[in-house]
Amino acid sequence: MFILFSILLILSRFSTVTTGSNVKAMFVFGDSIVDCGNNDFLDTDAQCNYFPYGVDFPLGATGRCTNGRTSADILGQLLGLPHFLPAFYDPQTTGSSILAGVNYASAGAGILDSTRQSQHIISLSHQIANFGETTLPDLKSLLNGSFALSSYLSQSIFFFLIGGGDYMASCTTSSGVAVECELQSLTELLIRNYTHHLMKAYDFGARKFVVFNLLQTGCDPYFKQRNNGSCVDLLNEGSTLFNNALRPALENLSEDLPGFSFVYINMSGIINVIIDDPTTYGLKVTNESCCFFAGANATGPLCVEGDGPCPDRSIYSNYDGLHLTEKLYMHLSTKAYSSELQTEAYPFNVEVLANLNISLMLTGPPSFHTRDH
């Protein structure tokens, strides 16, 4: 009965369900897990634009904090996008290069503007402002009008993966050592702000949202190394609180905003299952960093510039002290795209979302000025 109810709910809210992806573009908002090189163009030390990053990526070190593709790169390929999405801050991201989408993610970014503000990274609110104030007018010009833009946006995916950095900034020191923080109030603040930012994206014309929950980062190699081999339980508890609140928040938005559709990706659950049964997924090393971030020259969680990584990246889960390997992102993205388990992708997978035709009569045109929530 639940499955039947879900199907009827979908059909009642969307005009038709088709087969074959009709995605026009994808717009990516987030932190270092999906940054494709925006921070390369910013005055910040939060960068992954050197070897051994990108050792398995076709273009080498581009600013991606992994050995190869990110989860956003892989999902874009699964959706049939023609190329990797360009970084918003790349001066070459102009004209027709934006028609398949843009990546706004910034390594170190948070949901709160105050998170790592001194490091000159781009918070979520500013990422969405970059979309609305710069990309949206350019798209309107390229697509020759508001109606074409509305249709285009209703067939585009808006990808969000952010929030872990807010807990790290509040619950650990700059050297990765745990400190006390008020998890409940922080979580409530984050969810309230996240909801506000998603509504802004909706006002700009976003209708199809893919939202990833947070990883259990407290047991990442970096934090265990800095805390005498112990996990930072506060980080894990924080992500659990956040994840438990995020899905209901998305469901509320879906009820309140006409045409708002979402897929909630249980990134934490998917990755935990893989780590708990590594051999099934071709992994052998799940408790060490491939690029040996904790070597004599290391000062933080990132790879040491110029040091070679492990020879076989495909058997590692972690590339550096905080980020995963392309192998893990491949499993994550594939499950996000096609999993039929609601414990992994809720209420359906990204492939289903991509093929929903949202009636423009229900949603109205995008606005260049968001409401005051």
Crossing angle between the packed helical segments 183-203 and 233-256, to the nearest 10 degrees: 40
Q: Pick the catalytic residue: 106, 154, 261, 323?
A: 323
Give the CATH number of the domain where residue 346 resides. Answer: 3.40.50.1110
185 pLDDT band, cuts 50/70/90, is very high
Q: Give a yes or no: residue 7 inside a domain.
A: no
Cβ neighbours of 373 (radius 10 Å): 10
Q: Could you tell me the CA-to-CA distances from 191 to 38, 106, 185, 215, 245 in Å, in that order?
A: 25, 19, 10, 16, 7
CA dihedral over 241, 244, 248, 253, signed as positive or negative: positive
Of 344, 364, 345, 366, give the one whose Cα is nearest residue 354.
345
365 pLDDT band, cuts 50/70/90, is low
Is 320 one of the catalytic residues?
Answer: yes
Cβ 234 vs Cβ 173: under 8 Å: no
Q: Give a yes or no: residue 100 inside a domain.
A: yes
175 pLDDT band, cuts 50/70/90, is confident
The predicted model gives 156-172 an average pLDDT of 97
Cβ 355 vs Cβ 21: under 8 Å: yes
Q: Give a yes or no: residue 300 inside a domain.
A: yes
- What CA–CA distance (Å, rounded) separates 60 from 67? 9
The predicted model gives 208-234 an average pLDDT of 94
Which residue has better confidence, 120 or 17?
Answer: 120
- Tell me the pTM: 0.91
Q: Pick the catalytic residue: 35, 73, 166, 320?
A: 320
Is 196 one of the catalytic residues?
Answer: no
Is 120 one of the catalytic residues?
Answer: no
Q: Report the pLDDT value the prediction gives residue 322, as an integer from 0 to 100.
A: 96
Number of domains comprising the chain: 1
For residue 340, which phi and psi values (nearest 5 degrees)?
-100, 10
pLDDT, tens digit, for every residue of 254-313? 999 999 999 999 999 999 999 999 999 999 999 999 997 755 555 689 999 999 999 999
Q: Give a yes or no: residue 5 inside a domain.
A: no
Q: Pick the catalytic residue: 21, 31, 32, 166?
A: 32
Is pLDDT of 363 > 80?
Answer: no
For residue 30, what are the domain limits?
A: 21-363
Cβ neighbours of 10 (radius 10 Å): 16
| Chain mean position to CA 278 | 23
Q: Give a yes or no: residue 373 inside a domain.
A: no
pLDDT, tens digit, for every residue of 38-65? 999 999 999 999 999 999 999 999 999 9
